[in-house]
Amino acid sequence: MVAGGACGYGNLYSQGYGTRTAALSTALFNDGASCGQCYKIACDRKRANPMFCKPGITVTVTATNFCPPNYELPSDKGGWCNPPRAHFDMAQPAWEKIGIYSGGIIPVMYKRVPCVKRGGVRFTINGHDYFNLVLVANVAAAGSIKSMDVKTSNSNNWIPMARNWGANWHSLAYLTGQMLSFRVTDTDGQTLEFTNVVPQGWKFGQTFATKLQFK
């Protein structure tokens, strides 16, 4: 598993996600395009063992990781993330909102819902001098990002970025040390421009919080 999870959020507490998180199976993860999406989940009392189901209670989780398939195991032996199964490997505190943890795997009902986040979108820059990775976190509404562009202090043009992995985006342009602006479009089609959000002289590993948020 990639350090910081397959979405790359790193410390889920400092990024604002806490313990209401889940790793998605292949059927839901969409090669990382689903990172940041939110799902409301409830135990399916019509299919679950009543001993392990908390009826009438829901929990909303954010997708922060990938649950890889294990084709050597059947679903009742741990291969529950095998395609085409839609599965949520939930953090224990989130799981215990809807079920009795000793029950192991329970059938659930779920739907995707808008994400509610505190504060604005955050950008963290990692990588090295000639290869910069920009992590986009704390995204409300759709939660997930469809496309992203960057503008440097040395250019007046928006430069397309590409998803590198999870919620990390990269550009072939040289970004190191320059003031940066980002234009971000979420998977619901809303676009926000974050002007000069990264100051000149930034350092790798720094996070830059904004006051703008998707609605």
H or E, element range at 95:
helix 92-98
Q: Which amino acid appears at position 51 of this protein?
A: M
Give the Å distances, CA to CA, from 71 to 3, 78, 81, 165, 210. 23, 10, 9, 23, 42
Please state the domain count of the chain: 2
| 33 and 99 part of one domain | yes
Please report the pLDDT score of residue 3 as a whole number: 45
| 25 and 109 part of one domain | yes
What are the average pLDDT values for consecutive 10-residue runs of the chain, which has 215 residues?
74 86 96 97 92 94 94 73 91 94 89 96 93 96 98 94 97 93 98 98 96 97
Please report the pLDDT score of residue 1 as a whole number: 37
Please report the pLDDT score of residue 4 as a whole number: 62
Distance between CA atoms of residues 79 and 77, nearest Å: 6
| 129 and 199 part of one domain | yes
| 151 and 83 part of one domain | no
Distance between CA atoms of residues 126 and 145, nearest Å: 18
| 91 and 30 part of one domain | yes
Q: Quick one: DSSP state of residue 15?
A: T
| 102 and 130 part of one domain | no
What CATH number is attached to the domain comprising 189? 2.60.40.760
Peptide bond into 84 cis (omega under 30): yes
Query: Of the residues 92, 113, 134, which one is the last residue of a structural domain?
Result: 113
